[in-house]
Structure 1
Amino acid sequence: MYERLVKRPQDAILATVSLLVLSPVLLTIAGLIKWKIGGPVLFKQKRPGKDGVIFEMVKFRTMTDERDEHGDLLPDEVRLTPFGQTLRSLSLDELPSLLNIVKGDIAIVGPRPLLVEYLPRYNDEQRRRHDVRPGLTGLAQVSGRNRLSWSERFALDVKYVDNVTFLNDWKIILQTVGKVLKKDGISSDTAATMEAFMGNER
Structure 2
Amino acid sequence: MKRVFDLLLGLAASVVFIVPLLIFALLVKLTSQGPALYWSHRVGRNNVLFSMPKLRTMRVGTQVVATHLLRDPDQYLTPIGGFLRKSSLDELPQLWCILRGDMSVVGPRPALFNQENLIEMRTEKGVHVIRPGLTGWAQINGRDELPIPEKVALDAYYLRRQSLAFDIKIILLTLIKVLRRDGITH
Task: Tell me the TM-score normalized by structure 1.
Answer: 0.82
Matches within 5 A, 1:106-117: 106-117=103-114
Deviation at residue 117 of structure 1 after TM alignment: 1.9
1:97 and 2:90 aligned: no
Matches within 5 A, 1:1-202: 6-65=1-60, 75=71, 76-119=73-116, 122-123=120-121, 126-187=124-185, 192=186
Counterpart-to-counterpart distance in 1, 2:148 and 2:178: 21
Greater helix share, structure number:
2
Q: 1:79-131 CA distances to partner (integer Å, 9 max, x unpaired)?
A: 11341011011100000000000000000000000111224662476552211
Kindly indicate whether the alpha-carbon contact (under 8 Å) linking 1:49 and 1:130 is maintained by their aligned counterparts in 2.
yes
Write the letter of the residue equivalent to 1:179: K
Structure 1 residues 164, 79: CA separation in 2 closer, same or farther (over 3 Å shift)? same
- The unaligned stretches of length 5 or more in structure 1 are 1-5, 69-73, 193-202
> How many residue pairs were aligned?
178
- Seq. identity, %: 42
Q: 1:41-61 CA distances to partner (integer Å, 9 max, x unpaired)?
A: 000011111111111001100
- The unaligned stretches of length 5 or more in structure 2 are 64-69
Structure 1 residues 50, 124: CA separation in 2 closer, same or farther (over 3 Å shift)? closer
Tell me whether 81-90 or 92-101 shows the greater mean CA deviation. Answer: 81-90
Larger Rg: 1
Deviation at residue 38 of structure 1 after TM alignment: 2.8
Counterpart-to-counterpart distance in 1, 2:125 and 2:113: 12
SS of 2:52 mapped into structure 1: strand
